[in-house]
Amino acid sequence: MTAWWESLSATLRILYCIAAPSTLILVIQTLMSLLGGLDGGAGANPSDTSGLDLDLPEGGADFDAPDLSDLDYTDGSSHSDGALFRVFTLQGIVAFLTVFSWSTIGAISSGAPPTGSIAVGIALGAAAMLAIAKLVQATSRLTENGTIDLKNGIGERGQVYIVIPANGGGAGKVMLKVQSSLVECAAVTRSAEPLETGAPVRVIDVIGDTLVVERDEG
C-alpha cells in the first residue's frame, strides 16, 4: 500500500484525498435518504394540529404553542429563492467532488494529460451537481402540485437535511417519506434547541407547505 501511494503523482494523491471522503459521505447521504422516514408514525394523531394546545398536568398552567403561521418560509422552489442556492446544496457539492475526483483519476490513469483530465472531471462533476439540483426541484414540485398531501406526513419520521433553527427562528429542510415517496420539505421546530443535520425527527404539524417537527427520541 505504501509503495503504491509513493508511486502516485502529487495530483493523483490530492484527487484520492478528495475521492475517498466524498464517496463515503455520498454513500452515507444515500443511505440516509433511503432509510429516513421508513418507520411509520405509530401512535401519532394524524389529524391537523394547527394551533396545537399543550396542556400541562393538573396544577400546571395551560399555554398555546407559538403560532408560526405568520413567519415567512420558503422551500427553495421559486425563482426568488435563488437558483444558485438550489444547485449548491450539500448533496450537490458532495456529488460534484465524488464525480470530479474519480473521473479525473480515471482519465489520468488512462494516460490523458492532467490538465485535460481535470477539465473533464470538472465538467462531469458539474453535470452531476445539476442533476441532483433537478432531482430535488422535481421532488419539490410533486409536493407543490398536490400530488403529495403533506398532512399525510404528520406522525412520520425523517431526518434533518439542513439545520432547523430553534423556536421557529427559521426554516430548515428534512427528508422523509410521505405517501411512499421520499420528499425534501421545508421544516421548522418549536424546540428550544436547533435540530442539527442528520437528527431524527417526527412531524407533529403542518403549516401551509412547511412541516413542524420535533426531535424523535424513539
> Domains of the chain (ranges plus CATH)?
2-215 (2.40.50.140)
State the pLDDT confidence band at 126, using cuts at 50, 70 and 90: very high
d(CA 13, CA 10): 5
- Residue 80 predicted with pLDDT over 60: no
Local confidence band at 59 (pLDDT 50, 70, 90 cut-offs) = very low
Alpha carbons 47 and 183: distance in angstroms, whole number: 20
Q: CA-to-CA distance for 98 and 15, rounded, in angstroms?
A: 10
Model confidence band, residue 159 (pLDDT cutoffs 50, 70, 90): very high
The pLDDT-based confidence of 64 (bands split at 50, 70, 90) is very low
Determine whether 31 is exposed, middle or buried from the number of CB atoms within 10 Å of its CB (0-12, 13-18, 19+). Answer: exposed
Range of weakest confidence among 21-30, 58-67, 144-153, 165-174: 58-67
Q: Is the pLDDT of residue 149 over 50?
A: yes
Rounded Cα gap, residues 136 and 218, in angstroms: 28
- Residue in 170, 94, 101, 160 with CA at minimum distance from that of residue 133: 94
User: CA of 151: how far to CAs of 10, 11, 172, 177, 185, in Å?
Assistant: 53, 51, 18, 12, 12
Asked if pLDDT for residue 3 goes beyond 90, the answer is no
The Cα–Cα gap between 99 and 149 comes to: 35
Whether the predicted pLDDT of 48 surpasses 60: no
The pLDDT of residue 49: 39
For the chain, give the DSSP string.
-HHHHHHS-HHHHHHHHHHHHHHHHHHHHHHHHHHTT-S--TTS--S--TT-EEPPSTTS--EEPP--TTS----S-SGGG-HHHHHS-HHHHHHHHHHHHHHHHHHHHTT--HHHHHHHHHHHHHHHHHHHHHHHHHHHHHHHTTSS-GGGGTT-EEEEEE-B-GGG-S-EEEEEEETTEEEEEEEEE-SSSPBPTT-EEEEEEEETTEEEEEE---
More confident residue, 37 or 106: 106
pLDDT band at 73 (very low <50, low <70, confident <90, very high): very low
